Each structure stands twice: as structure tokens, then as C-alpha cells.
Amino acid sequence: MKIGFIGLGNMGAPMAANLANAGHDLTGFDMADVAVDGVAMAASATEAVQSAEVVITMLPNGQILRAVADEVIPAMTPGAALVDCSTVDVDSARAVAEQAVSAGLLAVDAPVSGGIGGAAAGTLTFMAGGSDAAFSKASPLFDIMGQKAVHCGESGAGQAAKICNNMILGVTMIATCEAFALADKLGLDRQKMFDVVSTSSGYSWTMNAYCPAPGVGPQSPADNGYQPGFASELMLKDLRLSQQAADSADADTPMGQTATALYEQFVEQEGGLGQDFSAMLPRFEKRGRS
Ligand code: NAD
């Protein structure tokens, strides 16, 4: 398949490389001067999408996605699919899809989970929104770049699933970290805390699979000085998107709101920038009640 790929950063580059390795014909474009094995680089986004059957975007945010969409949609071949894998706000995802469909294109919003490791290994999970025809067109490519793709509904449904999942993740990480810090102050051994909680009703992915306490549970960023993993600023980005969506849909999300405020404080004032999102634990360790 002839594929245009726009945004070849930490995630986009390995995703594009996997598609090229699988035998697809890839033309890429990025604002930065990048080179990716097997991908021919174009001089502009418009050039990268010329006669492509599928165009994939992997960009930083909704504003940039809208700008790139304005540029490439008129240059795409009718019937081709625009597949956005970036994490962006639901409103931008829906607006871009509407613009693409009005131009006779298929559109899918398909944010991913699995991070840079998953992108390199081809084990991402895709959460997709769009018509059945659009999802079917992108599906074989999801199978190469990932291990699972869920068709969540119409346009925007992929982004909705992604930010709801990550709102749970942020809230749960904070709850797990504050419970460890409380357990410390109550004199409870961290290993015993893990042994009990990981097999009791407080268990969660953050406790069982990604434990924020070093030396406890399976290997995680906590065992590596809290190097990401999943950086706190990316968690903050997703939490902010969840609150933007909650505002726009008039949904009451007090825990999501609190988690957003805590990660904002952590990233912007407390040195959390560049640290894994589980570094909330050492943050809580240092603090008292007031
Ligand atoms: P990144 O900053 O490494 O890559 C983004 C790329 O887009 C950069 O190479 C940049 O030069 C390029 N770019 C920016 N504006 C452009 C434009 N107008 N035209 C062409 N290229 C442009 O970011 P990333 O980590 O690859 O993340 C990409 C997306 O994936 C984000 O939306 C992010 O939230 C999401 N995501 C990231 C992770 C992760 O672990 N990094 C996990 C899941 C989802």
C-alpha cells in the first residue's frame, strides 16, 4: 500500500519503520530533519500524501493536527484514508474527521497506548473512531503496528476511550502513591503492603504491573530512578485533555480534576518534568499533611 506518514518523532518513526519493513511503500514528512529506515522523505506534507491510499499522522497536539489536515486534505486522493494516531482533544479529532469526510476521504482517529517500546516492538493498542469502511481500510496497518485494535465507535470515540483510560490511570497512580506514603508513615513494610494490596480489592495496574515503589513488584521505572516509561508531562497532557472533554460534555469529574491539578503542580513546580509519572511516590514521601 502507498502510505504517507506525517510526524516521525519518538512514536511515528518506529511505527513508520515497521510499516516499511512489512513491505509497504512509505513516504514521510516531518518539520524536523529526520531519517527513518525504509521511508522516503518528502519536502512537504503535501508531497508526502500525493497518491497515497492511507495517510497517517502522529503529531504533538490538536492544533498542529488541524493545521496539517488543512494542508493535506485537499492534496489527498478521494477514497483515501486519513488516520490520525496522535493523542488530541476530542473536538479536534471530530473536526478533522468531518473535514476529511466532506472532501470524499475516509477518516479514523486512532490514538495508541503502549508508548515508545510498544511502537518499536509493533505491540501498540489502537482505539479507533470512524466509519466501518474507514476502520476496515486502516485495520491491516494496525495489525502491523500493534497487537490489538478496538473499533470504539464513530469519529472521536478513539480519543474518548484514550482519555477516559488515562484519566483512570492518573487517578489510580496518585491513589497508589499516596497509599504507599501513608503506609510508610504507619510503619508498614512496603513489600507487605504490595503483597496484601496486589491480591486484595485495592489492586490495580499501577500497583500490580507498574509498582511505584522501588524494589517491590515487577520491574518498573521506579527501579530505574524513575526514568520514563511514561513521563509525567505526557500524563499531564492526557489529564488536561480529559478535563477539556469533561468541560465540553458537561461531565462531573472531581477525581480527574484533582489529578490534573496535582500533575500540573508536580511537572511545573516540583521537578517532575522528565520523570516517570510514578515519581509521584517520592513526591508524597517528602510531604506532610499541611
Ligand atoms: P514527538 O514530539 O517525539 O513527535 C512529534 C513529531 O511531530 C516531531 O518529530 C515533530 O517534529 C513533528 N511535527 C510537529 N509539527 C509538525 C508539522 N506541522 N508537520 C510535520 N511534522 C510535525 O512526540 P511523540 O512522543 O512521538 O508523540 C506523538 C503523539 O503520540 C502525541 O500526540 C503523544 O501524546 C502521543 N503518544 C505518545 C506516547 C509516548 O510514549 N511518547 C504514547 C502514546 C501516545
Mean pLDDT of 57-68: 97
User: Residue 264 and residue 228: Cα distance in Å, rounded?
Assistant: 17
| Per-residue pLDDT tens over the stretch 157-193 | 999 999 999 999 999 999 999 999 999 999 999 999 9
Pocket test for ligand 1, best of 10, 46, 230 (most atoms within 8 A of CB): 10
Contacts of 84 (CB under 8 A, 6+ apart): 56, 57, 59, 65, 93, 96, 107, 108, 109, 110
> Binning pLDDT at 50, 70 and 90, where does residue 290 land?
confident
Percent of the chain with pLDDT over 70: 100
User: Atom 34, ligand 1: which residue's CA is nearest?
Assistant: 87
Q: Is 2 a catalytic residue?
A: no
* Distance of CA 59 from the midpoint of ligand 1 (Å): 4
* Distance of CA 130 from the midpoint of ligand 1 (Å): 22
Residue 226: name the closest of 282, 179, 287 by CA: 282
The angle formed by the CA atoms of residues 85, 97 and 257, to the nearest 5 degrees, is 65
Percent of the chain with pLDDT over 90: 98
Answer whether the bond into residue 229 is a cis peptide, omega within 30°. yes
Which pLDDT value is given to residue 112? 97
Which pLDDT value is given to residue 28? 98
In the predicted model, what is the mean pLDDT of the chain? 97
CB-based pocket (< 6 A), ligand 1: 6-12, 29-32, 45, 58-60, 64, 67-68, 86-87, 112, 115-116, 234, 237
- Answer whether 204's CB lies under 8 Å from 250's CB: no
- Answer whether 125's CB lies under 8 Å from 113's CB: yes
Mean pLDDT of 23-46: 97
Mean pLDDT of 104-127: 96
Which pLDDT value is given to residue 63? 98
Which pLDDT value is given to residue 279? 98
Mean pLDDT of 144-169: 98
Please name the amino acid found at residue 4: G
| Per-residue pLDDT tens over the stretch 272-282 | 999 999 999 99
Which pLDDT value is given to residue 54? 98
| Per-residue pLDDT tens over the stretch 70-109 | 999 999 999 999 999 999 999 999 999 999 999 999 999 9
| Per-residue pLDDT tens over the stretch 202-250 | 999 999 999 999 999 999 999 999 999 899 999 999 999 999 999 999 9
